[in-house]
Amino acid sequence: MFPTKRLEGKNILVGITGGIAAYKSCELIRYLVTQGAHVRAMMTANGEKFISRLTIESLCNYPVYTEMFPEGRYAATHHIELADWAEAVIIIPATANIIGKMANGIGDDFLSTNLLALHCPTVFAPAMNSNMWLNPAVQRNIATLKNWGYGICDPEEGFLAEGYSGVGRLARLEYQVQHLYRAIHPHPESLKGKTVLITAGGTREHIDPVRMLTNRATGKMGFALAWEAFARGAEVILVHGPGSLIPPVEVESHGVVSAAEMFDTVQRHFPRADLFISAAAVADYTPARYSTSKIKKEEQGLTLKLERTRDVLKTMSQQKKAHQRVIGFAVETDNPLENARKKLIDKNLDMIALNNPSEAGAGFGVDTNKVTVMTRDDARELTPGYKLDVAGEIFDRLLGTGEGGRDD
């Protein structure tokens, strides 16, 4: 899960309705609290049957709102006070009932009335039995909410509480957060209508059926860029090497293994891209010969002949049309600025993001990065921080949507 500074100090309202997945809202609240968000919750009477108010109050460290007419606490605006406080809302789980009420303007309890009064981005995370989800009435209501601009974090296919598999399981935490991240984004339309092609992770060059050459890249930076592009309204195509990260939802993801596959997949999708960001650590060399059987251990050692792989970034840059921009990443340990500038010019890039993996808090596997972005006439050190926030600043620099760091 990506940590981010963007949730710090944000007022997030979590609405819990009466579904079996209500217990999963705890995990989301926990994540939001650890990111520094102010979290308040409202529950329906049926929601309270599935999870206790005490649990939610303990996690939020704030009383839960449930009643429309609470004894001794009545104020003329009580029914809409949370709606005025919230900067983003997520209904998790969202029952078929609350989706239907919202699509028809019904406010017959505290939660539904507040939803009608809300004037901030709102996400529904539906969870229900597959037959309920596929019911035309529910599908029509979902389509109505989507059409009105509500975020819908679609349920997943999998094992249901009823004991069989189908579509209807609450979307996993990563997807909930991805939607919420988009809901709070300061520039949610800045890539609307654009297609962004991103590569992430390392590649594997097989020597024989059990051995390979690879590198330390995990894909975190590239995946963070994909989250960021999604949050800014882009169509995102993510080409990623093997790894344990969960590909983002509503992103066209293509898993590849070798540098050759990475090249072919990028080549196939590049014509659709307005922006190509190459964050993958693609192998520069691959074994000249693949052995179909395991190479025997010999006393005299083994000499491997390696040959160059095709240069993804340079080739795409050569094919670039006037509307396309190509951005590279450079990992440099020696003379970083000089080498990154050379790469920028040699490969005719529009921008290069330089990081030095030997610096603390930067590089492979970690959640944070320290990046300097360079264009032909500018070099700017971005605020060191979480990869998701660094990804935000990279897009700010590209699109001119923010401060994007300080001048060198």
Active-site residue list = 215
Q: According to CB under 6 A, which one of 19, 219, 392, 404 is a site residue for ligand FMN?
A: 19
Positive or negative, the Cα torsion across 234, 245, 11, 71? positive
**327: which 2 tokens?**
């951005």
Q: Does 125 bind ligand FMN (CB under 6 A)?
A: no
Cα(214)–Cα(90) distance, rounded to whole angstroms? 40
What is the number of residues in the chain?
Answer: 408
Among 10, 32, 47, 248, binds ligand FMN (CB under 6 A): 47
Question: What order do you get walking across the sheet with 122-126 strand by strand?
Answer: 38-43, 11-16, 88-94, 122-126, 151-152
Q: Which is nearer to ligand FMN, 106 or 399 (CB)?
A: 106
If one asks whether residue 114 binds ligand FMN (CB under 6 A), the answer comes out as: no
Whichever of 51 and 128 has its CB closer to ligand FMN, that residue is 128
Contact 174, 111 (CB under 8 A): no
| Minimum CB distance to ligand FMN smaller for 100 or for 357 | 100
Among 4, 25, 35, 97, binds ligand FMN (CB under 6 A): 97
- CB 33 within 8 Å of CB 39: yes
Q: What residues form DSSP beta bridges with 308? A: 285
Q: Does 55 bind ligand FMN (CB under 6 A)?
A: no
Is 56 or 96 the residue whose CB approaches ligand FMN more closely? 96
**Rule CB under 6 A: is residue 113 a binding residue for ligand FMN?**
no
Three-state secondary structure string covering 317-359: HHHCCCCCEEEEEEECCCCHHHHHHHHHHHCCCCEEEEECCCC
Q: Does 130 bind ligand FMN (CB under 6 A)?
A: no
Q: Are 197 and 275 in contact (CB under 8 A)?
A: yes
As measured in angstroms, the least distance from the Cβ of 55 to ligand FMN is 16
* Structure token digits, residue 317: 């840059």
43, 65, 110 from 77: Cα distances, Å = 18, 14, 12
- Candidates 2, 10, 17, 270; binder of ligand FMN (CB under 6 A) is 17
Q: Is 306 helix (H, G, I), strand (E, B) or coil?
A: strand
Stretch that binds ligand FMN, among 2-10, 89-97, 331-339, 385-393 (CB under 6 A): 89-97
Binding test (CB under 6 A) with ligand FMN, winner from 28, 42, 96, 197: 96
Number of neighbouring beta carbons within 10 Å of residue 294: 11
Q: Using the minimum distance from each CB to ligand FMN, give the nearer residue, 46 or 375.
A: 46
Least distance between ligand FMN and beta carbon 102 (Å): 10
Rule CB under 6 A: say whether 128 interacts with ligand FMN: yes
Does 127 engage in binding with ligand FMN (CB under 6 A)?
A: yes
User: Does 46 participate in binding ligand FMN (rule CB under 6 A)?
Assistant: yes
Q: Of 170, 145, 159, whose CA–CA distance to 21 is shortest?
A: 170
Instruction: Please give the size of the binding site for ligand FMN, defined by CB under 6 A.
Output: 15
Q: How far, in Å, are 42, 93, 184, 216 from residue 18 at the CA level?
A: 12, 8, 26, 44
At its nearest, how many Å lie between ligand FMN and the CB of residue 43? Answer: 8
Contact between 95 and ligand FMN by CB under 6 A: the answer reads yes
Q: Which stretch binds ligand FMN (CB under 6 A): 41-49, 53-61, 325-333, 396-404?
A: 41-49
- Does 42 contact ligand FMN by CB under 6 A? no
C-alpha 18/C-alpha 14 separation (Å) is: 13
| Footprint of ligand FMN (CB under 6 A) | 17-21, 44, 46-47, 95-98, 127-128, 132
